[in-house]
Amino acid sequence: MTLAHATPELLTAYADGSLSEGLSLLVASHLTFCPACRRRVARLEAFGGALLCDGASVAPAPACLAGALARIGCDEAGHEVPEPPARIAG
């Protein structure tokens, strides 16, 4: 990032959500004070959204929902699943 503007590559990565949390915070802070970069990110996000809308729908694999819920600690009804107790080596 230069003193005046973030690079196009950095703004693109911010718009597509691929930046680390630290860099994302840095870019978001820059966007607060830079209307030119804010407009560029808005256009990039609109372009990405249009690409998603124009794409063909793909049905998820049967285990997709169960796998996603397991990663966030919920069952298929949306109830929190407690973690099993840790085993103590003995």
pTM of the model as a whole: 0.60
Distance from CA of residue 65 to its chain's centroid? 18
Q: Tell me the domain boundaries of the chain.
A: 8-71
Q: What is the pLDDT along the chain (90 residues), one digit of tens a residue?
A: 546 789 999 999 999 999 999 999 999 999 999 999 999 999 999 999 998 888 788 888 878 888 888 888 887 666 776 666 677 776
CATH among 1.10.10.1320, 2.30.30.230, 1.20.1050.10, 1.10.10.10 for 8-71: 1.10.10.1320
* CA pair distance 41, 26, nearest whole angstrom: 14
Give residues with Cβ within 8 angstroms of 45, minimum separation 6: 15
* CA pair distance 76, 67, nearest whole angstrom: 10
pLDDT at residue number 37: 96
